[in-house]
Amino acid sequence: MSLAPSLPELIARARADLRMGVPVALRSSQGDAIAIAAEGLSPERLADMTALGTPVLTITARRATTLNARAYDGDVARLTLPKDATTLWVGSVADPADDLTHPMKGPFTSIRDGDASVHRAAITLAKSARLLPAALVVSVDNATQIASDNGLTVLPVELALPHMADLAPLTDVIHARVPLIASEAGRVHVFRPDDGGEEHFAVEIGKPDRSKPVLARLHSACFTGDLLGSLKCDCGPQLRSALAQMGTEGEGVLLYLNQEGRGIGHANKMRAYSLQDQGFDTVEANHRLGFEDDERDFRIGAAILKEMGFGAVRLMTNNPAKIAKMQDQGITVTERVALKVGENAHNTAYLATKAKKSGHLL
């Protein structure tokens, strides 16, 4: 029936449920499970999960390395809970905020045997929900019945896992003229993914010729830098400089992608900032949180460019990864236009880390 949710819609529903602190049912041929995000776990739901069986705390291999826990499953680690585990214990393992003040959290016992597909699915959902990448998972024999009794979303793991990294189709919902300081000939396009995710924007300056390479920038949203003028990064100056150059040339397109904090979300970005205040650099902070160096998906930018009719760009970037991804997605990069602005006393170390560890051309 067409009224039933599609697989992408089920994935989006499961992601939203975890974000609200609601468990989801995960069905697999290797065994079913009920999973809930570690972040925001309530004592009542911890008790309910424990009543179903033996909870396992699943974290990423990055977080496991910080905790000196074994990750026998490669990208994830499955940790057994102490018998007296509380939500505070779960939170302390998932969140590195107090790692330095309370470094001795173990020793941890990692599960070596059995299939980890339901655990991997739970971590993937938590990440895409912009939560800490940690989830409590309980293996059960009757996930469908539990879901029916409690109104939970049921996700078929083997069908869903290969598609969790799929790029959701984007629709140009509306575009309208918006006179800007950089150029009165501004037009803003709103692109909406069909999986319920955040909308992205394209700021078109002038009327670029679709048959020629367009001056373009993929700019990831940065609330602190773009709006507040934060000095911890160079995002705000890059945004304004890119628009100004497009205004000077009379045409261009700036893609404003809602991938805050290198794709980890506002809250996790602030957690990373807090860790930086403890002495960790931006990459180390991401790893302690359980994320990779950069969780952004630049395929979104390529998809928007194609939707707007552009096949070639003069890309304003210092990040070679953006160039590689554009070309991998069929967008020809005819020129890299450097964008070296915004360095100050507060972000010198941050920029040095981007150059040394992320390969930025600074």
* Peptide bond connecting 82 to the previous residue in cis, omega within 30 degrees of 0: no
Furthest C-alpha separation in the chain? 66
Radius of gyration of the chain (CA): 22
Q: Counting Cβ atoms within 10 Å, is residue 277 exposed (0-12), middle (13-18) or buried (19+)?
A: exposed
Q: Output the 3-class SS for 34-81.
A: EEEECCCCCHHHHHHHHHHCCEEEEEEHHHHHHHCCCCCCCCEEEEEC
- Cα 267 from Cα 247, distance rounded (Å): 33
Structure tokens given for 273? 């900032």
Structure tokens given for 246? 């497009």
Residue in 227, 175, 202 with CA at minimum distance from that of residue 300 = 202
CB atoms inside a 10 Å sphere around CB 208: 22
Q: Which of 166, 294, 299, 314 is catalytic?
A: 294
Q: Output the 3-class SS for 150-210.
A: HCCCEEEHHHHHHHCCCCCCEEEEEEEECCCCCCCCEEEEEEEECCCCCCEEEEEECCCCC
- Is 45 a known active-site residue? no
User: Are the C-beta atoms of residues 337 and 314 closer than 8 Å to each other?
Assistant: yes
- Is 294 a known active-site residue? yes
Q: Which of 296, 299, 314, 336 is catalytic?
A: 296
* Active site members: 294, 296
